[in-house]
Amino acid sequence: MRPTVHDIAAEAGVSLATVDRVLNNRPGVRTVTRHKVERAIATLGYVRDVAAANLAKGRSYPLVFILPAGENSFMRGLEAEVRAAMARSAAERTDITILSVPAFDAPALAAALMEARERRPAGVAVVAVEAPEVTEAVKRLREDRIAVVTLVSDLPGSGRDHFAGVDNIAAGRTAGSLMGRFIGGREGAVAVVAGSMLVRDHRDRLEGFRAVMTEDFAGRCILPVIEGQDNPTLVEKLVGALLERQPDLAGIYSLGAGNRGLVAALEKAGREKTICAIAHELTPHSRAALVSGTIDALLNQNAGHEVRSAIRVLKAKADGLPVISAQERIRIDIFLKDNLPLEQA
């Protein structure tokens, strides 16, 4: 049976009050007494009942999510997942605030991080932009012992507690493997459409994609990257022009967002069945394009899993508890039209 503070007191030969002082680092305990209690805790394998403690404390976990604004369907889906978590807040004792910043805007993001800091939350989850001022802001939060989780796009070197996102180099490699094999012996170059080289996830995906195409499909020509700023209108224009320049194009890898534009350009040119298109993130638009065959494979990161993971990690950090690693890894989902998950209402 699970040991309680009463068992610790009996084992150590002290009172409940002393056990409480040791457990909660309150003053007024001699070192020799403290060691006695700590030994009893270790001997009995005592683990605090967090639910009981939270009940006693009336505790909740104030959390801040900092998300990019704009039309990016994936990010809107991510926001919907955060709002769903807000709806569950009474049961989960969370108190979630969303702060929005313009996409790819590092100064605004740094300012939002400082605003979040002023609220003194238990933790902050942020879709990062890799810039010195953002890294500095994250370090400030860490100095204040506010847990920080990067979401979707990481910020190496910032001291953040955890990254809730996929390994984007591996994602790019996966796209490369699928592209190479799906195209098979067919002739033609492959194009790459990115959002912005300012975010780490896009840079990593490109790196992985190029690595595999070079290693395993060395005869295949990779065209220079097109940057569409995750903007469907711009992407449609740029891809449209690409399709005119490249009558023999074999494939397109879209590693960012704005896939509405990609799909529209392919279909407008009547080449949706001849060009192999591999894109990222399952959204209503990309799902429809996968079902219709315009997109051949989608590489996805599960926004719901990422949000739940971020919350779990932030709560665990606030409680000083360990994180279950296996549960917090975000997988790279490969979707064909055959293994699509059920559509969410």
Partner DNA sequence: GAATTTTTGATGTACGTAAATCAAAAATCT
Partner DNA sequence: AGATTTTTGATTTACGTACATCAAAAATTC
What is each CA distance from 6 to 23, 27, 53, 134, in whole angstroms? Answer: 12, 20, 15, 47
**Integer Cα distance of 82 and 27 in angstroms:** 40
Q: Which residue in 6, 35, 145, 273 binds DNA (CB under 7 A)?
A: 6
For 97, the enclosing helix (H) or strand (E) is strand 94-101
- What residues have CB less than 8 Å from 34, skipping those under 6 apart? 22
Q: Mark 318-337 with x for binding to a copy of itself (rule: CB under 8 A) and - for no binding.
A: --------xx-x-xxxxxxx
Q: Mark 12-51 with x for binding to DNA (rule: CB under 7 A) and - for no binding.
A: -xxxxxx-x--xx--xxxx-xx------------x-xx--
| Burial of 90 (C-beta count, 10 Å sphere; 0-12/13-18/19+) | exposed
Residue 33, contacted partner among DNA, a copy of itself, none, CB below 5-8 A by kind: DNA
Residue 53, contacted partner among DNA, a copy of itself, none, CB below 5-8 A by kind: DNA
Residue 29, contacted partner among a copy of itself, DNA, none, CB below 5-8 A by kind: DNA
Q: Mark 156-175 with x for binding to a copy of itself (rule: CB under 8 A) and - for no binding.
A: --------------xx-xx-
**Integer Cα distance of 88 and 72 in angstroms:** 25
Residue number with CB closer to DNA (36 or 280):
36
| Cβ neighbours of 91 (radius 10 Å) | 7
As given in the structure block, the two tokens for residue 40 are 């009893």
90 binds a copy of itself (CB under 8 A): yes
DSSP 130: -
229 binds a copy of itself (CB under 8 A): no
86 binds a copy of itself (CB under 8 A): no
Of residues 45-84, those binding DNA (CB under 7 A): 46, 48-49, 52-53, 55-58
- 175 within 8 A of 341, measured Cβ to Cβ: no
- Give the footprint of a copy of itself on this chain (CB under 8 A): 2, 47, 49, 51-52, 54-55, 90-91, 170-171, 173-174, 176-178, 181-182, 184-185, 208, 212, 299, 304, 308, 326-327, 329, 331-342, 344
